[in-house]
Amino acid sequence: MRWETLFERRRFLSDAARPAPNRNAFQIDQDRIVFSRPFRRLQQKTQVHPLPFNAHVRNRLLHTLEVASVGRSLGFAVGSRLRGELVAAGHTPDDLGYLVQAVCLAHDIGNPPFGHAGEEVIATFMARWMEAEGRASGLGLDEDLRFFDGNAQGFRILTRADGYRERGGLKLTSASLGAFLKYPWDALDPRAARQGRAGVKFNHFATEREAFAAVTAACGLEGPHPRHPAVWLMEAADDITYGLADLEDAVELQIVPYATYEALVAPLARVEGARLAAEDTEAQKVALLRSGAIGRLIGAAAEAYCAHHPRFMAGAVPAGDSLIGLCETELRELFRAVQDTNRDKLYFHPRKAEFEIGAWDVLEKTLAVFLEACLAVARHGFDDIPSRPRQALSLMQDYHPKPGFTPSETIRCAVDFVSGMTDNYAAHLAARLRGL
């Protein structure tokens, strides 16, 4: 892979890059993402704790902004180390920082209500629906309708489902779209499987097959693991941010005591005891430790990237690896201890479990109603459908199917609408649809 094509500034479905004298092309991408409706909806979507009562606890939007901040710093750090190589290709360290920041802003834009629990509900429901109704419809629906991944939904939002709907989505640069592809394959690819389960991690649906091919060709993504180098930096920024922030939120919610946070993060931060003792409150100490740990992890991740740079450019590093996993052993083990604590103490906490069990009921109800409506359109068009599906279509606003859509595109609209809901709206609408 070559930086000249990896930084492709032409916008999706455009033949030439338009001049923008006041902004870098990737800054324009950031603006388009930030001002989009799917981005705004992240403020009421789960990061770890659904519907938190404490305003200091992160939602998906705050998490995204923090990832973008770390990603910009990490991109610039790597770009500074590769300055000569970038300049020779007509770019600067700032370009890499802006590109990584843009893709970090978009990295969770396709996440459904209730976080990863919502992904599982939608995937499970769609697999059952395809078995019971989709295949029996005789419409020849795409097989990948039985799968769902927030990454693929995000690519669909960016290229098709929102912004300039059906006319290029948010019309980002090819570089940003290429750097968004954490899993550059479809749901039916063997690489999408996890622990014997097919279609778990992938980055495009069949409805976006042509968009995916256009983006990968424009960026020149090649090799056995054809990931854009900026993907590794975005992914590391995400790992660093949620690893430390999830633990911090656990302290805020009194799930984990401050002493546990200090014991885990202080070795990462390398903050002197006297400096830490000078802070008056636990909140100030947490902030100091977090800052030190993030700074050290950014430096280590930048060094790890540069040590393996030729392999990343050759698409030779498997997607299951990570920059943090390529760091020196001591730091890697310290960070793993943080991640293990999050898994053991947070991700199965009773409050979180209660909401995620409830997510099944909420999302199954909404999917059933809007799939019924979209299936009626796929079968009969818009002129001969019963009143209940017609009423459901009126609730979908501008996410409803359009004349001329294929059956698969029509069904996909139901998934677009439900996965785009906020936690609050999904719970409210499910109750209203039951007559409550």
pLDDT band at 200 (very low <50, low <70, confident <90, very high): very high
Q: What is the pLDDT of residue 4?
A: 95
Mean pLDDT taken over the chain: 93
Q: Using 50, 70 and 90 to split pLDDT, how confident is the model at 161?
A: very high
pLDDT (tens digit per residue) in 290-309: 999 999 999 999 999 999 99
* Predicted confidence (pLDDT) per residue in 211-232, tens digit: 999 999 999 999 999 999 999 9
Say yes or no to pLDDT of 15 above 80. Answer: no
Above 70 in pLDDT, residue 393? yes
pLDDT of residue 51: 64
Domains and CATH numbers, the chain: 3-111+150-219 (1.10.3210.10), 113-147+350-436 (1.10.3550.10), 229-345 (1.10.3410.10)
Query: In this structure, are residues 84 and 71 in contact, taking their beta carbons and an 8 Å threshold?
Result: no
Q: What is the pLDDT of residue 52?
A: 67
pLDDT in tens, 305-356: 999 999 999 999 998 899 999 999 999 999 999 999 999 888 777 877 888 8
Indicate the pTM of the whole model.
0.94
Residue-wise pLDDT for 74-126, tens only, equals 999 999 999 999 999 999 999 999 999 999 999 999 999 998 899 999 999 99
- Check residue 88 and give its pLDDT: 96
Q: How confident is the model at residue 383 (pLDDT cuts 50, 70, 90)?
A: confident
Question: Mean pLDDT throughout 35-61?
Answer: 86
